[in-house]
Amino acid sequence: MTTTSTPPTRAPEATAYATTAPGTRDRRRSFEAALRGPGALLGIAGLWVAARAAMLWMLVNDFHASSIVRVEVTETYYDWYHILVTWTVPQDDIMWQYPPAAAAVFLSPDLLPFLTYFQAFVALTVLCDGLILLGLVRAARRDDGSMAGAVLWVVSLPLLMATPFARYDVQVTLLAVGSLLCLRHRPRLGGVIAGIGGMVKVWPLLTLLGTPRGRSTREAVTAAALSCVALLAVFAALFRDSLGFLGNQGDRGVQIESLGGSVLMAARLADVWPGWIRFQYGAYEYVGPYVPEIARASLALTLIGFLLLLLWRVRANRWSPSTPSDAALFAIMMFTVTSRVISPQYMIWLLGLAAVCLSSRHTTQRPIAWLLAVATALTSLIFPVWYGPDILGTTGLGTFLLCARNGILLYATVWSGLRLWRATVVAEPALPAASRGAF
């Protein structure tokens, strides 16, 4: 039987890189080589120290009302700590909406008994921030690595001012980043870390979405499932009512900072919607006509987004080293934009995942990452800078800032998905007529 061979196809990422002008490629390689040098590494380390010192100064000196940022640790987390030390999960508090392993984060300040609870929590958060940077720098030293991810993390996180050090989302982001960085060569370890992250705040499980089909996916998913089951068993044995968080999410409404909330804010500013704002479920939410419908629409969009992710997973037939991180970023952006809640700390997740994407030269998400940096800067203007007078007051400035930020996030999410799809869903070449019937 005679068959006709076809030339091998090249992955889209490699094709794009190969078609770059030689001079541009040479300059890019020289720039990357310079960034990997000891002088550049010292510069990045120095910039990290300076930026984090500024963030700490803002946190303790009430810069732009940082007191409303600190209260999450000094009151909410501290109150939960006093309940958790009795081996009980605070499920009666509607603000407790986290899987059981989150208890370990809120109890972790006991590791530094010589500091106050607030000081210890912030110190551990800064440590996790530094570990993320170390992981990104190490990833940049791979053959196809790039220092752009480390640079993005160093310069973009301070755009949130003091907020990252007064939330536990840096710790969660460390688990997601660690999972993605390990998946490439140690899928089992990546799966274990993703499972731990899932038991702390659910979303790190989505880092497994883009693992290549076959053995890597089986190993990672199996390891994640086993680590989830093991942690659930441990925390169920240690804490009473460890699954009580499951009932505290269903009644949430539309937070004013969400995509649906920006629509209601614009309608309220135009005096065509008579609703109002109420503090409930630990956030300011809209109350009034059409709010339940918008909340249901958000849930429907989340479901549609999940189905689109499944469709991508089924149709994808080209993987590059950056595909797992690219897919994870798109997935988290999808769930963030369609959520009924877009809290400021959600940007920490997106920045961490975007930084992992940029740590590979093959990524499809480079322009998305820098769009997220712009959205992060707008987020700080929304909270805490002009939160009270303009966001809660529904002024023209507040409405513009919120609509601009959410518009950028929506645009970036759609663009992210399109770039991921074009790079990974590629039409297979038609088989020659002589070989179509062959087995």
pLDDT tens digits for range 326-380: 999 999 999 999 999 899 999 999 999 999 999 999 999 999 999 999 999 999 9
Which tens digit of pLDDT belongs to each residue from 380-402? 999 989 998 899 999 999 999 99
Q: Are 170 and 348 in contact (CB under 8 A)?
A: yes
CB 310 within 8 A of CB 419: no
CB 278 within 8 A of CB 246: no
Q: Is the pLDDT of residue 414 over 70?
A: yes
In the chain, where are the structural domains located?
A: 35-429
Residue 241 backbone zone (phi > 0: left; psi -120 to 50: alpha; other: beta): left
SS3 call for 360: strand
Which SS3 state, helix, strand or coil, does residue 145 take? strand
Nearest-CA neighbor of 276 among 370, 180, 393, 363? 393
Q: How many CA atoms lie within 13 A of 166 on its CB side?
A: 25
Q: What is the pLDDT of residues 62-119, one digit of tens each?
A: 776 677 889 999 999 999 999 999 998 887 787 888 899 999 999 999 999 999 999 9
What element of type H or E holds 122?
helix 117-140
Half-sphere exposure of 184 (CA within 13 A, CB side): 18
Least confident of 42-51, 418-427, 428-437: 428-437
User: Residue 172: helix, strand or coil by DSSP?
Assistant: helix
